[in-house]
Structure 1
Amino acid sequence: MASEAQRSDTAEPRRGRPRSEASHQAVLDATTRLLRVSSYEELTVEAIASEAGVSKQTIYRWWKSKAAVVLEVMLTGNAEIELVPMPSTGDLRADCLTWIRGMLVEAFRDTHVGMARSLVVAGLQGDPGTERLLQQASMWDHGLLAERLREAERAGELREGVDIAAAASAIGDPLIFRMLTGSAPSLSWSESLVDVVVTGLMRPGAGSSIN
């Protein structure tokens, strides 16, 4: 019996009937739910199809592999995955610290470490569609962290011309790297990360404090 990888290699994605947007969204939502409770290695196209209420053939018609589905979920924002809430107290540094403290508890669970690793696997697939998504999308353009930074920008707290996606990446990417290695950072490391990044973002005179 052919393996999933072999089947996906011979699949013909994005051919045949135009895809139903409702089914497309159902697949993204189903993948999001499954990644919250299982690792990337445990995730299968069969499970995604069953959860979404579509056939495997429907998924393979639109995506070359399960990795391509996961990548779209992670990068497009069609099905955002938020592990912890982001407070909005008026103190950007304190809010980011509260968020990162929550991430230290939630993001380093085994299931979420597997989810972070799945993003790397998806990026290494070499599929042209995957490469286009990586070039066109940024996972830090959206989400709670980026929105909190935009709120601070609207309030005039940030230096002029700050790239919000780059700022969110400066906080989030180190966490993803530590997730990939399976090594949870210490609280003092996290406090230093927030302090360095937020201090660099703040407009002179727009002070806040770590609580």
Structure 2
Amino acid sequence: MSEKKAAIGRPKNEAASKEIKDQAIALVRAQGYANVSISDIIKAAGVSRQTLYNRWASKAELVLEAFFELAGAQVSAPDLGSGIPRRDLLARFLHEVFDHLDSEGDCLRSLIAAAQMDGDFRDIFWARFVSPRADLVTALLKDAQERGDLHASRDVDLLSSFIHGAFWYRLLNGQSIDGSFADAIADDVFRV
């Protein structure tokens, strides 16, 4: 018996996947998450319903994957292998996150609003979008402690929550999220 399993059906067309994600992002940007249907995305992408559902089980999974990829292209993980001071790594990471939030703020606010109305969407949003970024910050802070850049008594999980709470709060309230705010957060986290 062969170890390899034969593929069933046609292979996924990557161009179709990209077009579906691009159209989903464009529609959510223009109309907000709640106002976009699967039918709208299918029509805009010029694909069949089956093509979409062969890739994603729901609109939430599709939209969050598209935004996760977009964020990943705009925000790089902090390089913990570098000799850069961890305060500077945190500030650089937050600058990139805040630039992304500035450009996608309206979309992200609509995703957060949808997450409050739909528990399944909230779980997916947390698992695919929020938690991975929180894990990056927590790992950076743990590394800073190991290097002696951050006092051992500081609770890195709590600090990570404070950092995220500060910028999500500002995002949700339409307040400025800019480089000076990123620097202020990094300075305060690493103050002696």
Q: TM-score if structure 1 supplies the norm length?
A: 0.53
- For residues 26 and 85 of structure 2, the distance between their equivalents in structure 1, rounded to whole angstroms, comes to 30
Residue 49 of structure 2 is matched in structure 1 by 56
Q: How many residues align?
A: 173
Alignment match, 2:113:
121
Aligned to 2:92: 98
* 1:149 corresponds to: 139
> Which runs of no fewer than 5 residues in structure 1 stay unpaired?
1-19, 200-206
For residue 146 of structure 1, report the CA deviation from its aligned partner. Answer: 0.3
Higher share of residues assigned helix = 2
Aligned pair partner of 2:187 in 175, 188, 195 = 195
Alpha-carbon offset, residue 92 of structure 1: 1.0
Q: 2:121 aligns with which of 126, 130, 133?
A: 130
Contact 1:67 1:121 in 2 (8 A): no
User: Residue 32 of structure 1 contacts residue 73 of structure 1 at CA under 8 Å; is this kept in 2?
Assistant: yes
* Alignment deviations for residues 86-118 of structure 1 (CA, whole Å, 9 cap, x no partner): 564521111222333344444313xx0122113
Identity of aligned residues (%): 19
Which digits, 9 at most, give the CA deviation of each residue in 1:118-155, with x for residues without a partner? Answer: 3213313335x3355367x2634425970793496298
User: How big is the alpha-carbon RMSD for the aligned residues of Structure 1 and Structure 2?
Assistant: 4.8
Contact in 1 for aligned 2:87/2:187 (Cα 8 Å): yes
Q: Distance in 1 between matches of 2:30 and 2:122?
A: 20
The SS at the match of 2:75 is coil
Asked whether the equivalents of residues 87 and 99 of structure 1 are also in contact (C-alpha less than 8 Å), the reply is yes
Contact persistence 2:76–2:93 (CA under 8 A): yes
Separation of aligned partners in 1, 2:89 and 2:172 = 25
Q: Give the distance between the partners of 1:87 and 1:175, measured in 2 at CA.
A: 18
CA distance change for structure 1 residues 48 and 92 in 2, over 3 Å: closer, same or farther?
A: farther
Paired residue type of 1:107: L
Matched residues in 1 for 2:44 and 2:111: separation?
21
* Paired amino acid for 1:113: G
In 2, the alpha carbon distance for the partners of 1:36 and 1:152 equals 37
Q: CA deviation at 1:182?
A: 2.5
Distance 2:138 2:184 in 1: 19
* Contact 1:116/1:176, CA 8 A, preserved across alignment: no
The residue matched to 1:130 in structure 2 has which SS?
helix
Q: 1:150 to 1:180 in 2, by over 3 A?
A: same
